[in-house]
Amino acid sequence: MRWLLLKDLQLLRRSPLVTGLLVVYPIVLAVLIGLAISRSPDKPKVAFLNEIPAGESLSLGPSEGFSQQEAFRQLCARIECVTASSREEVERKVEDGEVLGGLILPDDFLERLEGQLSATSPEPATVDVIVNQDDPLKAQLVDDRIRALLTEANLRLSERITEVAASYQGILSEGGEFEIPLLGQVVQILGLRNAERILDTVAASVAPEQRAEIEDVRDFARIARENLDLADDFLASVREPIAVEKQVIAGDVPPLDTFAVAVAAAVTLLFVTVLLVSGSLALEREENTFTRLTRGLVSRTGLLVEKAALGTAAALGVTLLMLAAITPFQSIGWDRVQLIVPAILLAGAASSALGLAIGAAAREVRASALLAFALALPIAFVSLVPSGTVGKSLYDVIQVVAGAFPFSPALDALSGALAASGPDLGLPFLHLALLTLGYLVLARLALRRFA
């Protein structure tokens, strides 16, 4: 068997295209994945025109308002702002494709916003968004990003208004100075607590028949103050109407970057191994050497074991090469190599066994390559469908189908091996071992009509 293994390695050396694929494929994939996970997504480039007069800002009474500089800084932290000097320039930049979209703050924006907030004007404050519709995807991207920005701005505004309202109710309850919004006039507010105290003093010095009426007014002031105190919580709930409390009830989740590396490694391992092994077995028949070999020189099972060993060795080499290539972009837990290697070996063995079943069934190199692609590609995609994105029955079917192929347990094994927070390794290892055995049996049965 060792001579057959050496022969297959020799054949690989003679096939520069296949060998090149074995080396280049994992490196290219590793670099692509590495770049994808090591770089944050690009910010969309948006032409920005601010027509609001310089120095004008949004005043919200005693609380701090919004300065233009602060608003501009926050906006441009989320999009790449390309400053424009006129509406025509914005339109030209969008039309030329220099920017993905345009955002214009009209000169009456703050005026209308203050009018809305003081209920003195029915005109809503609007911003103008300019999008090039020649590319619906691009338009959707800009539209979504700007809508998200405006939603965030609205939330910040309502948060600030809530704070202002809370300060108003504080003054109403406790008294103090109050600046009338938009007018700038400062007035002294007595406050309910002070009114209550004054009424207490007055009640003690008046005739008993008048005291009852004063006490009614004092009680009203106390009840009003106490209820205004409760309004703090209510206003806080308006500021943050929906709170999120996360509770994880199932699943061991590795970091997203590690999961991406595991997906890339599992895809590489599956494709390379299945294609190599199925092709190698089918080649024995195409070269008419199968009959010669199995005529007492090598048993059919021995030949399958030799091919599985070839595939597993290739899987180990290719996957380690890929992980090494991805290391400059993404930290790989090489201190967990004692788990990584067994995970690759088992995933490689299961993928090799699948390749053997395909090669034995297809019997021709081209047919086996086609079958390997036709099977491996959709299986890899289907295995990545998360729960909740399809109906429960369909998801159950997908789980069963994915479980019959090595990609899903290989992904779990690699995720678990690469990160301590990943899935436990016991189940995927057992799953892969069973798949290896099952596919070897299928391949052995298919070899009956192979020659």
Query: One-letter amino acid identity for 430?
Result: L
Sole window of 4-12, 74-82, 313-321, 333-341 interacting with other proteins (rule: CB under 8 A): 4-12
Pairing status of strand 176-179 against strand 186-189: antiparallel
In the set 23, 186, 297, 434, which binds other proteins (CB under 8 A)? 297
Q: Which of 441, 415, 257, 249 shows the shortest CA–CA distance to 344?
A: 415
In the set 55, 251, 296, 391, which binds other proteins (CB under 8 A)? 296
Shortest distance, CB of residue 421 to other proteins, whole angstroms?
46
Nearer to other proteins, 296 or 391 (CB): 296
Q: Which of 371, 414, 155, 123 shows the shortest CA–CA distance to 264?
A: 414
Shortest distance, CB of residue 285 to other proteins, whole angstroms?
10
* Distance separating alpha carbons of residues 209 and 261, to the nearest angstrom: 85
Question: Residue 366 interacts with other proteins (CB under 8 A)?
Answer: no
Question: Residue 15 interacts with other proteins (CB under 8 A)?
Answer: yes
Question: Residue 51 interacts with other proteins (CB under 8 A)?
Answer: no
47 forms beta bridges with 82, 102
Could you say which DSSP state residue 447 is in? G
Shortest distance, CB of residue 1 to other proteins, whole angstroms?
9
Pairing status of strand 45-50 against strand 101-105: parallel
Question: Residue 301 interacts with other proteins (CB under 8 A)?
Answer: no
Nearer to other proteins, 293 or 384 (CB): 293
Question: Residue 381 interacts with other proteins (CB under 8 A)?
Answer: no
The SS3 assignment for 49 reads strand
Residue 55 neighbours by CB distance under 10 Å: 7
Q: Which of 129, 152, 140, 163 shows the shortest CA–CA distance to 75?
A: 152
Question: Residue 341 interacts with other proteins (CB under 8 A)?
Answer: no
* Distance separating alpha carbons of residues 332 and 260, to the nearest angstrom: 12
Nearer to other proteins, 288 or 338 (CB): 288
* Structure-block tokens of residue 415: 């995720």
Question: Residue 289 interacts with other proteins (CB under 8 A)?
Answer: yes
* Distance separating alpha carbons of residues 44 and 129, to the nearest angstrom: 14
Question: Residue 117 interacts with other proteins (CB under 8 A)?
Answer: no
* Structure-block tokens of residue 447: 């070899």
Q: State how far the alpha carbon of 415 is from the alpha carbons of 5, 258, 296, 336, 392, in Å.
A: 30, 7, 43, 11, 25
Nearer to other proteins, 218 or 285 (CB): 285
Question: Residue 451 interacts with other proteins (CB under 8 A)?
Answer: yes
Nearer to other proteins, 13 or 147 (CB): 13
Sole window of 206-214, 283-291, 308-316, 337-345 interacting with other proteins (rule: CB under 8 A): 283-291
- What DSSP line would sit under 347-364, residue for residue? HHHHHHHHHHHHHHHH-S
Sole window of 184-192, 282-290, 356-364, 400-408 interacting with other proteins (rule: CB under 8 A): 282-290
Shortest distance, CB of residue 11 to other proteins, whole angstroms?
5
Question: Residue 70 interacts with other proteins (CB under 8 A)?
Answer: no
- What DSSP line would sit under 76-122, residue for residue? HHHSEEEE-SSHHHHHHHHHHTSSSEEEEE-TTHHHHHHHHHTTS--
Q: What is the rounded (10 degree) CA torsion for 218, 219, 222, 226?
A: -170
Question: Residue 11 interacts with other proteins (CB under 8 A)?
Answer: yes
Shortest distance, CB of residue 23 to other proteins, whole angstroms?
19
Nearer to other proteins, 190 or 298 (CB): 298
Q: Which of 256, 308, 215 shows the shortest CA–CA distance to 418?
A: 256
In the set 161, 298, 313, 370, which binds other proteins (CB under 8 A)? 298
Nearer to other proteins, 12 or 367 (CB): 12
Question: Residue 4 interacts with other proteins (CB under 8 A)?
Answer: yes
Shortest distance, CB of residue 3 to other proteins, whole angstroms?
4
Question: Residue 7 interacts with other proteins (CB under 8 A)?
Answer: yes
Question: Residue 246 interacts with other proteins (CB under 8 A)?
Answer: no
- Distance, C-alpha 344 to centroid of its chain: 26
> Binding residues for other proteins, how many (CB under 8 A)?
20
* Distance separating alpha carbons of residues 205 and 325, to the nearest angstrom: 90
Question: Residue 234 interacts with other proteins (CB under 8 A)?
Answer: no
Question: Residue 237 interacts with other proteins (CB under 8 A)?
Answer: no
Interface positions with other proteins (CB under 8 A): 3-4, 7, 10-11, 14-15, 287-298, 451
